[in-house]
């Protein structure tokens, strides 16, 4: 038996989302088929609004409802310090610490040579432009501590080197609550090399 | 019961060649293993910063794995890093070469098709790429021998057309026929490209000698460039596609060569956030 077109289409759309396989896609679709109309319409409206109301901040490329995001528009933030992250979610993670008072720059990905993602696909040129124009004192590279994140940070650091700005990298080390004997060699090595005074 | 459980587990000595995010905090990891060839395995929770496994299944890491058979994906239950190949992580150009070697390996292999010799060659190549003063040499050696081990060894000694031994003259390389044509047959063959004597010599030497004997070779830039071009044309023709990571490699190499970026690692011990 063939599926009704709208059902098949929604399953297909769900299955394109990250982390959702064909089974989950059908389950979600059949759930929505039986759900109250208000709930389904609220969901479709939320998706539409996401598309229509969310833009990228002209300065930092974080997601925003305004052309310039609240962080970039805030005069209390230190605009001479830029924290470079891979994704908007990373901005939220750093904001939650309450320890950072500078502004951000969202790359929207990392260099992934095998997937063909190069610097042009990321907001790297825009970052260099920003550093060139403004009174930027420090660029803190906060890409993920894995090989792709590391390579991206190295690449950006090399690009910025001639501009004379201070370039820093999030410290690497042991996770809180971890156990030394389970630590991998690279992490341990970094933790020793970048040890801090007590 | 106990033996049944044991059968559902297997060991593998692996190098991680590719990975992608999967679900909330998991990754699908493409490994090339000594025992089972290429495998795609699920590494659960490795994107969590507290994961004990994450550092052991990083890209280009040589690791011992314990794997549990699963329904859709086999799952890495334990991982222990044998060799992290640190130099590949600390120098952008070497990182670029490692990506390229890993992509080639991926393109040359099918899942679950063991090739222990190719495994050894790849491991050795990662080590050489980290150590060699001129990473192009181990890279070319890998291209030539990986192609050979995958069943595409080019003929370099006998003309593929007239079967005469190749003489020191103006010879040709034909990607479609997979090897050389002599000075008489080459010009008439469609798609044959001239190959210089020094480049052909190096290729033949590479094909017949262990890497250790090659290490001392100092090649002129023009020979390096020609070797790179010939082998790249041969492998893109044979694989019917062009490795994507080569773009990154060129980009990084250009930047290093033109002095926009200093080569090599930087940074060191320093308080909370260290200069890169
Ligand atoms: Zn902004
Ligand atoms: Zn001939």
Structure tokens at B237: 């023709």
DSSP letters of B185-200?
Answer: TGGGSTTEEEE-HHHH
CATH number at residue A20: 1.10.8.420
A81 lies in the same domain as A152: yes
What value, to the nearest 5°, has the Cα angle with vertex B103 and ends B173 and A182? Answer: 145
* Ranges of CATH 2.40.50.140 domains, chain B: 2-83
- The two beta strands, A78-85 and A138-141, are parallel
Using the Cα atoms of residue B177, residue B180, residue B186 and residue B192 in order, give the sign of their dihedral: positive
User: What total of structural domains would you count in chain A?
Assistant: 2
Enter the pTM of the model. Answer: 0.86
Minimal-distance CA residue of chain A relative to B106:
A114
A23 lies in the same domain as A81: no
Q: Is the pLDDT confidence value at A94 over 70? A: yes
Structure tokens at A197: 């005074």
A88 lies in the same domain as A165: yes
A56 is a domain residue: no
A195 is a domain residue: no
Q: What is the pLDDT of residue B55?
A: 86
A197 is a domain residue: no
> What are the pLDDT digits (tens) for A139-163?
999 999 999 999 999 999 999 999 9
A90 lies in the same domain as A155: yes
How many contacts (CB atoms, under 8 Å) link A and B? 116
Q: Among the listed ranges A75-79, A106-110, B216-220, which one has the minimum average pLDDT value?
A: B216-220
User: How far is Cα B267 from Cα A61, in angstroms, rounded to an integer?
Assistant: 28
Beta carbons of A146 and B267 less than 8 Å apart: no
- Is the pLDDT higher at A191 or at B174? B174
Contact criterion met (CB below 8 Å) for A84 and A110: no
A86 is a domain residue: yes
Of B60, B106, B244, the CB nearest to A113: B244
Q: Does this complex have an ipTM over 0.90?
A: no
A25 is a domain residue: yes
- The two beta strands, B192-195 and B274-275, are unpaired
Beta carbons of B95 and A161 less than 8 Å apart: no
- Share the mean pLDDT of chain A: 92
Strand order in the sheet with A102-106: A102-106, A78-85, A138-141, A166-169, B274-275
A21 lies in the same domain as A97: no
A178 is a domain residue: no
Ranges of residues in chain B with a pLDDT under 70 are: 1-7, 256-276
Using the Cα atoms of residue A72, residue A76, residue A82 and residue A87 in order, give the sign of their dihedral: negative
The CATH T-level fold of domain B2-83 is OB fold (Dihydrolipoamide Acetyltransferase, E2P) (2.40.50)
**Structure-token match 């390096």, residue found:** B224
Question: What's the pLDDT band for A183 if we cut at 50, 70, 90?
Answer: confident
HSE at residue B207, side-chain half, CA atoms within 13 A, is 18
Contact criterion met (CB below 8 Å) for B137 and B131: no
Q: Please name which of B13, B14, B4, B256 lies closest in space to residue B135, comparing C-alpha atoms.
A: B256
Q: What is the pLDDT of residue B159?
A: 97
To the nearest 10 degrees (0 to 180), the angle between helices B197-208 and B221-239 is 70
Provide the β-strand partners of residue A38. none
Minimal-distance CA residue of chain A relative to B81:
A184
CATH number at residue A98: 3.40.1360.10
A29 is a domain residue: yes
> What are the pLDDT digits (tens) for B8-43?
999 999 999 999 888 888 999 999 999 999 999 999
Kindly list the residues from chain B whose CB atom is less than 8 angstroms away from the CB atom of residue A140.
273
Place domain B87-154+187-265 in its CATH homologous superfamily.
Recombination protein O, C-terminal domain (1.20.1440.120)
* Strand stretches in B34-184, DSSP E: 37-43, 62-68, 74-83, 171-174, 179-181
Q: What is the pLDDT of residue B27?
A: 93
Question: What's the pLDDT band for A173 if we cut at 50, 70, 90?
Answer: confident
User: How far is Cα B245 from Cα B238, in angstroms, rounded to an integer?
Assistant: 17
What is the nearest CA distance from A67 to chain B, expressed in angstroms? Answer: 30
Q: Is the pLDDT confidence value at A180 over 90? A: no
Q: What is the pLDDT of residue B4?
A: 53
Of B89, B106, B252, the CB nearest to A147: B89
> What are the pLDDT digits (tens) for A120-134?
999 999 999 999 997
A109 is a domain residue: yes
Which residue segment(s) compose the domain that A132 sits in?
76-169
* Ranges of CATH 1.20.1440.120 domains, chain B: 87-154+187-265
User: How far is Cα A178 from Cα A198, in angstroms, rounded to an integer?
Assistant: 19
Q: How far is the CA of B189 from the centre of ligand 2 (A)?
A: 10
Structure tokens at B3: 């033996």
Question: What's the pLDDT band for A22 if we cut at 50, 70, 90?
Answer: confident
């Amino acid at each position: 038996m063939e599926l009704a077109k709208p059902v098949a289409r929604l399953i297909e759309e769900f299955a394109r989302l990250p982390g959702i396989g064909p089974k989950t896609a059908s389950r979600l679709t059949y759930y929505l088929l039986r759900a109250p109309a208000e709930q389904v319409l609220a969901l479709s409206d939320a998706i539409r609004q996401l598309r229509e109301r969310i833009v990228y901040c002209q300065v930092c490329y974080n997601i925003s409802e305004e052309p310039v995001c609240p962080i970039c528009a805030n005069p209390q933030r230190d605009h001479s310090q830029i924290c470079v992250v891979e994704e908007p979610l990373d901005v939220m993670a750093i904001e939650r610490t309450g320890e950072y008072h500078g502004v951000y720059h969202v790359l929207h990905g990392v260099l992934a040579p095998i997937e063909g993602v190069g610097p042009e696909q990321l907001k790297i040129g825009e970052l260099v432009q920003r550093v060139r124009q403004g009174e930027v004192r420090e660029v803190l590279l906060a890409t993920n501590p894995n090989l792709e994140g590391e390579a991206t940070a190295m690449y950006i650091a090399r690009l910025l080197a001639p501009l004379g700005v201070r370039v820093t990298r999030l410290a690497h080390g042991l996770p809180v609550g971890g156990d030394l004997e389970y630590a991998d060699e690279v992490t341990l090595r970094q933790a020793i090399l970048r040890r801090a005074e007590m | 019961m106990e033996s049944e459980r044991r059968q559902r587990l297997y060991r593998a000595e692996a190098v991680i060649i590719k990975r992608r995010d999967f679900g909330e905090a998991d990754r699908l990891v493409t490994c090339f293993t000594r025992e089972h060839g290429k495998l795609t395995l699920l590494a659960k929770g490795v994107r969590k910063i507290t994961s004990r496994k994450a550092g052991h299944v990083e890209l280009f890491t040589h690791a011992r794995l314990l794997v549990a058979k699963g329904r859709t994906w086999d799952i890495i239950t334990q991982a222990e890093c044998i060799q992290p190949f640190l130099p590949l992580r600390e120098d952008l150009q070497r990182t670029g070469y490692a990506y390229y070697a890993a992509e080639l390996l991926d393109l040359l292999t099918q899942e679950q098709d063991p090739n222990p010799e190719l495994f050894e060659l790849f491991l050795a190549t990662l080590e050489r790429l980290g150590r060699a003063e001129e990473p192009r040499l181990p890279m070319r050696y890998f291209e030539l021998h990986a192609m050979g081990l995958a069943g595409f060894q080019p003929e370099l000694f006998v003309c593929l057309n007239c079967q005469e031994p190749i003489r020191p003259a103006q010879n040709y390389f034909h990607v479609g026929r997979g090897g050389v044509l002599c000075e008489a047959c080459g010009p008439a063959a469609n798609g044959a490209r001239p190959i210089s004597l020094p480049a052909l010599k190096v290729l033949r030497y590479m094909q017949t000698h262990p890497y250790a004997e090659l290490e001392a070779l100092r090649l002129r830039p023009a020979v390096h460039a020609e070797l790179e071009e010939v082998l790249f044309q041969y492998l893109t023709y044979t694989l019917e596609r062009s490795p994507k990571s080569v773009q990154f490699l060129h980009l990084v190499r250009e930047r290093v060569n033109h002095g926009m970026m200093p080569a090599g690692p930087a940074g060191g011990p320093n308080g909370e956030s260290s200069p890169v």
